[in-house]
Amino acid sequence: MLMAGLLAMARSYGQKSKTKKRAAKGTVRDMEKRVMEAVRARGRARSSWFQRFMAASDGVDKAVQDFIEHHIKTSPCWSRISSACAQANSTLHIIYVLCLLFLFVSMCMLVILL
């Protein structure tokens, strides 16, 4: 349903306005005012279209994220993989700390010997 709305908005974005163009009347100043108002109206229309598009896109992103999180939580395979990754990450931290400790001890020994 959200994807259909996104596609409909994407199709309608590039279409031209169906209103008739009126003939130029009045002074150059009037024409400039009309042009500026048309530019502002176009900006407002694009802004509202973009806001609707982003809201729908955020809804799709949230639905996909919830779907993936639900399947990760309920799937035994994914839960094993995530726990293995957490365990590997803690193992890497231990190795990193041991390397830093070894480096510190070797630097202290070097300073003592010199």
Quick one: average pLDDT of 109-114? 82
Say how far apart CA 34 and CA 40 lie, in whole Å.
10
Question: At which residue do the structure tokens 């949230």 appear?
Answer: 62
User: Does residue 57 have a pLDDT over 60?
Assistant: yes
Whether 9 and 49 have beta carbons less than 8 Å apart is answered as: yes
At 47 the pLDDT is 74
Whether 44 and 52 have beta carbons less than 8 Å apart is answered as: no
In eight-state DSSP terms, residue 27 is: -
- Compute the Cα dihedral for 10, 13, 18, 19 and give only its sign: positive
Q: Which of 19-23, 40-44, 85-89 has the highest mean pLDDT?
A: 40-44
Q: What confidence tier does 25 reach under pLDDT thresholds 50, 70, 90?
A: low
Domain ranges of the chain: 30-113
Quick one: average pLDDT of 30-45? 80
Q: What confidence tier does 73 reach under pLDDT thresholds 50, 70, 90?
A: confident
Tell me the pTM: 0.32
At 11 the pLDDT is 66
Question: At which residue do the structure tokens 């070097």 appear?
Answer: 110
Whether 3 and 53 have beta carbons less than 8 Å apart is answered as: no
